[in-house]
């Protein structure tokens, strides 16, 4: 029985040995070819700045199965690529300024993290677009340029500051040049109407004073008599009121003319490229208990 088993073992060795002899060179050749391809591919990728892909190829040609010469050269290049690869550390703040980690981070359209853990993210040098999306669906994009060897660059995406981290623009109604022009026209118009009403009132008073003066001396007046004194007083009042009546009507006409002109020539505000302010000129009026001040402001 033992002799029979021995013959069977010898037969198995004789059958398997030629197969192994033929398979080994082919397998060794395939591994060597992979090492050479990875070696050449790593050089090209590194030269084009694709350090991430170059690292993957270098990991292949540094395997123990590769020829020693290729292993050594790929190992040296791998150290260089590791030193050249930039990395970022991303932090995100919501609208309240609180740090959040439950976000989706994409780089150049590819998702690289479903949650932030404070660890660095290695990228290729060059331009990149980061997109951060909150669970609510709100998203912000941020553009950055990474340099070779730039390690652990801090990148903060702040949802409370906006896409470009600009200060919020506050729009106050009535501060544009058109609104200022309308306000001035309305104010001048009201003053004109007030002057017109004052002129009419003075005209009525002047007419009443003149009528009293005529009535006092309708049947004749003796100089120095009470009737003559009253008539003289009413006549002086009528003359003064006539002067102020003329001034009031003149001011009313001028004010109403200016108001109509301002309203007729006003135009819609032109948005400024720097944030929505009007680029036209305007008037600023400062009223205080000590007086009033008007300034002509021109925006460029």
Same domain, 20 and 60: yes
Q: What DSSP element (H or E) covers 253? A: helix 226-265
Same domain, 211 and 141: no
Provide the strand spans (E) within the chain: 87-93, 99-100, 104-107, 110-113, 121-122, 126-133, 139-146, 153-158, 282-288, 291-297
Same domain, 219 and 246: yes
Task: Please state, in angstroms and rounded to a whole number, the distance separating the CA atoms of residues 294 and 251.
Answer: 20
197-223 pLDDT per residue, tens: 877 887 777 677 667 666 666 555 655
Task: Please state, in angstroms and rounded to a whole number, the distance separating the CA atoms of residues 210 and 31.
Answer: 125
Q: What DSSP element (H or E) covers 237? A: helix 226-265
The residue segments making up the domain with residue 55 are 2-84
113-140 pLDDT per residue, tens: 999 999 999 999 999 999 999 998 999 9
Question: DSSP for 9-74?
Answer: HHHHHHHHHHHHHHHHHHHHHHHHHHHHHHHHHHHHHHHTT-HHHHHHHHHHHTSTTS-HHHHHHH
Same domain, 147 and 189: no
Is 279 contained in some domain?
A: no
Same domain, 15 and 51: yes
37-93 pLDDT per residue, tens: 999 999 999 888 888 899 999 999 999 999 999 999 999 999 999 998 999 999 999
pLDDT value at position 261? 78
Write down which residue in 53, 84, 115 finishes a domain.
84
Is 194 contained in some domain?
A: yes
Q: Are 126 and 107 in contact (CB under 8 A)?
A: no
Domain count, the chain: 3
Is 154 contained in some domain?
A: yes
Task: Give me the count of residues in the chain.
Answer: 300
Same domain, 45 and 14: yes
Write down which residue in 107, 130, 158 finishes a domain.
158
143-193 pLDDT per residue, tens: 999 999 999 999 999 998 755 333 344 444 444 566 777 788 788 778 878
266-296 pLDDT per residue, tens: 665 544 444 444 444 444 545 444 454 545 4
Chain centroid to CA 249:
53
What percent of the chain is predicted at pLDDT more than 70? 64
pLDDT value at position 77? 92
Is 140 contained in some domain?
A: yes
User: Which of the pair, 25 or 98, is modelled with greater confidence?
Assistant: 98
42-53 pLDDT per residue, tens: 999 988 888 889
pTM of the model: 0.42
Is 217 contained in some domain?
A: yes
Write down which residue in 28, 51, 84 finishes a domain.
84
């Amino acid at each position: 029985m033992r002799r029979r088993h021995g013959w069977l073992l010898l037969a198995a060795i004789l059958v398997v040995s030629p197969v192994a002899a033929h398979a080994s060179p082919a397998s060794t050749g395939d591994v060597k070819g992979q090492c050479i391809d990875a070696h050449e591919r790593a050089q090209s990728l590194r030269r084009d700045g694709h350090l991430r892909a170059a690292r993957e190829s270098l990991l292949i040609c540094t395997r123990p199965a590769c020829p020693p010469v290729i292993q050594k050269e790929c190992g040296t290049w791998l150290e260089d690529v590791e030193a050249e690869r930039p990395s970022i550390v991303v932090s995100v703040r919501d609208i309240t300024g609180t740090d959040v980690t439950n976000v989706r981070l994409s780089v150049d359209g590819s998702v690289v993290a479903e949650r932030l853990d404070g660890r660095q993210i290695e990228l290729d040098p060059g331009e990149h677009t980061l997109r951060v999306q909150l669970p609510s669906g709100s998203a912000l994009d941020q553009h950055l340029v990474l340099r070779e060897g730039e390690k652990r660059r801090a990148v903060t995406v702040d949802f409370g500051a906006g896409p470009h981290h600009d200060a919020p623009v506050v729009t106050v109604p009535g501060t544009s040049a058109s609104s200022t022009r309308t306000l001035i026209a309305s104010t001048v118009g009201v003053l004109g109407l007030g002057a017109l009403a004052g002129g009419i009132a003075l005209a009525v008073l002047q007419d009443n004073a003149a009528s009293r003066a005529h009535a006092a001396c309708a049947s004749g007046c003796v100089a120095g008599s009470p009737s003559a004194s009253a008539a003289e007083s009413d006549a002086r009042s009528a003359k003064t009121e006539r002067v102020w009546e003329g001034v009031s009507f003149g001011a009313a006409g001028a004010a109403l003319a200016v108001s109509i002109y301002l309203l007729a020539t006003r135009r819609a505000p032109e948005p400024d490229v720097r944030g929505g302010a009007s680029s036209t000129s305007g008037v600023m009026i400062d009223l205080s208990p000590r007086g009033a001040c008007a300034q002509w402001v021109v925006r460029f």
